[in-house]
Every structure is written in C-alpha cells, then in structure tokens.
Structure 1
C-alpha cells in the first residue's frame, strides 16, 4: 500500500498545463536576475478557486529561489493591511545579510511601518490602527516602500508574491502600485518583481481602486487541456510504479472536465478505491467508478457550503443561470428569467463573482466556475 500522490485542496507539487505562464515568468526572471533590471509590470494571474492559482504562484516562487532571488510571500486580506504584511515578510529575509545592509534595510522597514500607521517590529505588541482612506498615506508610503525595495536588493534580486490580491486593502494596493510606478520611472536598474494571484474579479476590483491599473499585467487561467490533465493524472502514479488503464483515464478526465481541483480529487478517490496500490499495479475503470461515488460526498459538501453562503437574491440569480444549462449564459437571458432589467443584475453579479461562484465568459455572458454546480442548483430548486 502506498499513500496517495495526489493533492486535492493542497498546493500541488507540479503544475501541468501552465507552460505558457511559466515561460512568461521565466522570461521575466531572466530580466530580473540576468540583466539586473526591474520587472516593470505587476503580474496578476486570476481564475476561480480550484484552478491552481496558489500552486502556480508557489511554482513561481520555487523558480525565483532556484535562480538566486530572495522571495517573500504574502496572503492579502489580513487586518494589518498589505503594506504591513510586505514589510513583515521582507524583515524575515534580513538575517544572513551583511551587517550594514541588514541595518539599513531594517531602518527602512521601520520607516515604512510608521508611514502606514503600523508599529515597528520591535514594538509589534502595541496596539495599531490600520490606515484609512481618509489618512491618504499612499504617497509617503509608496516612497517608503520604494526605499525598502531598493535596500532589499542590495545583495540579490527580490520577488514579492501576493496571493488573494483581490482581498488587499485599498490603501495598501494604491501604495504598492504607486511605489511600482515610481520604480518604473526612476528605478529600472532595481532588480525586483511582484507576482500575484487572485479571483476573476481581481482586475475589476483593482481597477476600481487604482486609476492607472494598466501598469498591472492581468493573465486569466483557463481549464486544463487534455494533455495536461493526463500528465496530472498519470504522472504522480507512474512515479510510484503504478499505471492507469486507458478506460480509467478516459472516465476520470470526463469527470474532471478540465477543472484542476477535480483532476486531483477523482485521482485521489480512485487511488483509495484501488486499495492504495503497490508498484506494478494498475488503476482500473472500476476504481474510478467507485472513486466517483466517494468523490460525490466531497462535491455535495462543497456545493452545499457555497449555496448556503448565498443570499436569497443571489440564489435566484444562480437559479436563473442554471436554468439555461451548464454553459455561458447572456445577461439578457438571465434578466429575462428574473423578469428584470440587465442593470438590476449588477449587485448580485458582483457578489457572486466575489464569492467565486460565477465568472465572466464571453462578452456579456456569465458562467459557473465549478463543473457540476449548475446541476446542483437545478436540483436544489426542484
């Protein structure tokens, strides 16, 4: 018996199907490390939950670290605010620096924290008040953040990675983008980069906060194509000496529908149903069918949790979308089903996108982010 090599709900160890994204980031890492230059635009990969954004961002971090860059990780949305989170994360990499570099960097971190209304590391136990929009600390904070970045790259390049960027506080986002604007104009020789990930509403959310959000490079993540799904399914098993029969592969991928989380979930369920196979064994179609039954309990729990978190008006909109099938639905068709105007959809639409349940598809259309959720909604309404 061997433990499952699959990782549903965890950070994946490999990211098949994201070759284009990895190639783009590798190119930017070459600009950063080989040329010693600033990566001028903040990159934001965005997709619904379950598409592997965090795993992809972790792969960016591994590649940057392997190339010799210092990396700091932030998950946006904490109470102290984005800039304080970045400051605290940068502080963690000061150990091991030359003494004069360490001293200068820590002084700039303290200045940055003071500029955004947060106590320094030495006084972090005291009460702090996050800055509000009325404080407008962004301009002074941006200069202080710029100074931190310039000091941090004294010995090696710096990569800042921000997960869940759509949850960042508005003041922190403005401060970050202002700082990058200054560096674009004045710091081309500063080897630093920001890579971020967020939900489908990240571009819209950021554009509503930062007027010049064109300085960010938005990159949507789509479903996995067939070859990538097969790699994610077969590769981990093969590394343990186990192979999948072709009927089992075909059935598993029909269940997964290109959704990365489902690939991991059906593979893990089939692995368990096959008795956690030893080297030399095979995963057969029967194991996938039994795994599908076990997987359904996880899906039902996931769908019920998402459904119960919706307000009555949001549920009505979900039902109107599901009424038209499993694919993209025009806003006009949704409005007609609700007997209302398209403009009346804006609020529930925004909330459902924020919750990761729907996303914009083609122009003027919306679609569910999770395969199978439309059928669940239809069943819930009967």
Structure 2
C-alpha cells in the first residue's frame, strides 16, 4: 500500500536542490496550533463548516459544531482553517482561547472581542440604527455584572435599557448575539465566534453561549459559535443545556489513518525535493501512531538527520531519540510540571496499567489506597485537563502516549502519605 501511495506522490517531486540538513527549508511545524504545510484527513469537517456558513447566509438553520479530541490531533489548527474559510466568505471572525475566569472576566473578554467585530462590520461613522443598537446592547452587557465588581467601558456609547442589562449572563449574551446578528445581517455578512479549549469555560459561560446560539438559530441570524476542546465537552454541553445535542454536532478528531498520515509526512518534503523510502514512512507512522503533532515533530527531527534528498529508515530510527527527548521536554513535561506529588503518583499508577481508560478502583489499588482516598486527586486531574472520563468510573489520559512518558519520567511509583487534618488546639 505504501509503495503505490508513494509512487503517486513522487510524480510531483521537484528536482533535489537542498540538503535535508538545511534547517531553513525544514517544512515541518511542530508548534502549538501552527498549521502544517498540508492539512489532511479533515476535509469533511472543513466542508461541514463551509456549509454552515452558506446556510446561515441564506437564513437557513444548520447545526454548528464543537470538535472534540485528545491533545495533538489538530483541533486548534482546524479552528484556524475555519477562520480562514470565514474570512474568505466575508465574515467577521472572533477567536478566543477559553480560560478559567469568573463571569466578570468572561464578560470583559467577550465585550472587547465583539465590540471590535462590530466596528469592523460597520465603522462608527457609518452606523445605521441596527449597528448603533448593537453598540448600545454591548455597552449594557459590559456594565451588567454581579456584586463582585465591574470593568470600564472604553467607548462613550450609552447603554441600552432592557437589553443586555438583566444581570444574568445567559440573557445578556443572548441579547448581544441577537443585536450583533441583526447588524451583520443588514450588511449581508456574518459573525463566527471560534473558541478553543472550551472545557475551561465555566458552566454558566458555556450555558450562556449555548442559549445565545439557540436564540440566533430561532431568529435565523448569521452569527454562530464553533468550539474545540477535550473529549468531555459533549457531556459538559449536555449538562449545561439539554438541547445542546440538537444545536451542535460533536465530531471527534483523532489520529490519521495510514494513507493520510503518509501524506502528512511525505508531501511537505516533496515540495523541497526530498523523498522518503517506503520503509522509512512505515516506521515513522508506527512511531507517531498517526497523530498529527507527532508527525510534525518526527518529521522535523528527521530533517536534521538525513542527508541529501532522501530519507531512509535508518534516518527515522536515528531521529527517534531526539523526537522522544523533544516531546518529553516540552509537550509532555509542561503538563506533568503542573501536577502535585500526589497527582503525579496517580498519573504514574494509571500509566502502569496501560494506555487504555482505567477504572478508578484499579488505579487506587495500584497506589495502595482506597478509591475514596484518591477520588479528589482524580477529580483535580480531570479539572486540570490531564484526564477525562470516557465512561462512568473510568478515566483516560488526554494526551496520546502519556503513559509511556510517565514510565520514562517517573521510573518508580512513589505514593505520598495522605495528610490528615490536624486538630485545632484548645
């Protein structure tokens, strides 16, 4: 299979001009969220997003989407591609990375981004009644906060009365989406809100976004929210609003199949006149398991090992050590460094059981503890985004190959003593 696939690619190869060791010509991009030279295996999602925009432009409803998947599968890259598609279609794009902020900070971030989108849709000097109305609702949204505090509004637009000023985040954001959608509709344009790391939104914030989208669907307005996050998002969205499953699809993205993985590895090199031997491609796919980020990292390391215009199996084998060291020192380590000693021991115990989802009681047994004793630690790791729950009672790593890393990084399992609360002295 690889041989026939490779022959198809090789026809497009340029005459060799550069040595593979030329760092400047390295076509691989192992950077967080950086789009690779070629995005493969995601055509159905790109098409679905295009259809979403086109139907909204015609005042027809369509389910939006929240993409789920493990780390390193290209969710952020997909959101970036969605942004490119929307901009080419004349839509305004608002891009956010969710953080664990309270509702006041969330309001501030949304106000700032949506205000900028409105001004791009309709410069203030040319505001129509609808645009001015949207601005006034945004002002009301900005100052309608709870008793914990407020934030300054950086423009002198009076706040609307009776819209965006309820003091309830869901109601207020719904008013903003409707007003902004009406302003965009008047300009024959639309607004696409793209949010990454959706799992870090507070429940009230996710609920507000879902409710706001629900109302714009009912009004057939050209404004939508598309998200990406870890696998638990579908459950979180359903918990926030029961009708979320009818508003959104929840496509899961994972590792690439063998054909697409080969394309992702081989085609960027062909642009630089460099070819891969068939057995080199096979070994690379086996090492990376087809995960897009891993393919980029291994390709990057191979580029500095091979010579002339050909990558051999031995080059891939030689680059493997640098590839694993780079992943260990950055992609994996940055996540482990956030863990406490007890959380680290929980992760190490899971790794000892393997890469598949593990039952909470089995992890506790490996740690020599009761499930009730380490249950809070498990919950903390889920909240941190290091674990997720594919089914009740089980947890799995959110990062591919994290089990192998834990075995390398923590050779021996050491479980700290659980600290008991000290009694207060009389």
8 A contact 1:245–1:282 mirrored in 2: yes
Equivalence for 1:367: 396
Q: How many Å apart are 1:21 and its aligned residue?
A: 2.0
8 A contact 1:112–1:145 mirrored in 2: no
Asked if 1:162 corresponds to 2:162, the answer is no
8 A contact 1:87–1:113 mirrored in 2: no
Instruction: Classify the secondary structure of the residue corresponding to 1:8.
Output: coil
Inter-partner Cα distance in structure 1 for 2:130 and 2:50: 30
8 A contact 1:146–1:183 mirrored in 2: yes
Q: More displaced, 301-310 or 229-238?
A: 301-310
Instruction: Classify the secondary structure of the residue corresponding to 2:120.
Output: coil
1:216-365 matched pairs, under 5 angstroms: 216-274=248-306, 281-302=309-330, 303-339=332-368, 346-361=375-390, 364-365=393-394
Q: How many Å apart are 1:44 and its aligned residue?
A: 0.8
1:1-382 matched pairs, under 5 angstroms: 1=22, 2-10=24-32, 11-13=34-36, 14-33=38-57, 35-39=58-62, 41-77=63-99, 79-81=105-107, 82-94=109-121, 99-101=126-128, 104-105=130-131, 107-117=133-143, 118-122=151-155, 135-155=167-187, 156-185=189-218, 187-188=219-220, 190-210=221-241, 212-214=243-245, 215-274=247-306, 281-302=309-330, 303-339=332-368, 346-361=375-390, 364-379=393-408, 380-382=410-412
Q: How many Å apart are 1:197 and its aligned residue?
A: 1.0
8 A contact 1:110–1:121 mirrored in 2: no
Q: Compare CA radii of gyration and give the structure with the larger one.
A: 2
Inter-partner Cα distance in structure 2 for 1:113 and 1:347: 41
Inter-partner Cα distance in structure 2 for 1:115 and 1:80: 11
Which stretches in structure 1 are left out of the alignment for 5+ residues?
125-130
Instruction: Classify the secondary structure of the residue corresponding to 1:366.
Output: strand
TM-score, with normalisation over the residues of structure 1?
A: 0.83
Q: How many Å apart are 1:340 and its aligned residue?
A: 5.0
Inter-partner Cα distance in structure 2 for 1:369 and 1:8: 18
The 1:52–1:344 alpha-carbon spacing in structure 2 relative to 1, beyond 3 Å, is: farther
Q: More displaced, 142-151 or 232-241?
A: 142-151
Inter-partner Cα distance in structure 2 for 1:176 and 1:362: 26
Inter-partner Cα distance in structure 2 for 1:330 and 1:169: 27
Q: How many Å apart are 1:98 and its aligned residue?
A: 9.0
**Which digits, 9 at most, give the CA deviation of each residue in 1:270-295, with x for residues without a partner?**
112225x5xxx112223222322222
Q: How many Å apart are 1:157 and its aligned residue?
A: 2.7
Q: How many Å apart are 1:242 and its aligned residue?
A: 1.4
**Which digits, 9 at most, give the CA deviation of each residue in 1:310-356, with x for residues without a partner?**
12332232122112123333334224334555566653334323434
Instruction: Classify the secondary structure of the residue corresponding to 2:304.
Output: helix
Q: How many Å apart are 1:234 and its aligned residue?
A: 0.7
The 1:8–1:65 alpha-carbon spacing in structure 2 relative to 1, beyond 3 Å, is: same
8 A contact 1:136–1:171 mirrored in 2: no
The 1:239–1:300 alpha-carbon spacing in structure 2 relative to 1, beyond 3 Å, is: same
The 1:306–1:175 alpha-carbon spacing in structure 2 relative to 1, beyond 3 Å, is: closer
The 1:372–1:72 alpha-carbon spacing in structure 2 relative to 1, beyond 3 Å, is: closer
Instruction: Classify the secondary structure of the residue corresponding to 1:153.
Output: helix
| Alignment coverage as a number of residue pairs | 365
Q: More displaced, 293-302 or 48-57?
A: 293-302
8 A contact 1:83–1:172 mirrored in 2: no
8 A contact 1:37–1:192 mirrored in 2: no
Instruction: Classify the secondary structure of the residue corresponding to 1:180.
Output: helix
Q: How many Å apart are 1:206 and its aligned residue?
A: 3.8
Give the RMSD, CA atoms, in angstroms: 3.0
Equivalence for 1:128: none
Q: How many Å apart are 1:268 and its aligned residue?
A: 0.7
Which stretches in structure 2 are left out of the alignment for 5+ residues?
1-21, 144-150, 158-163, 413-426
Q: More displaced, 250-259 or 354-363?
A: 354-363
Q: How many Å apart are 1:146 and its aligned residue?
A: 1.3
**Which digits, 9 at most, give the CA deviation of each residue in 1:64-95, with x for residues without a partner?**
23333332222223645453244234235235
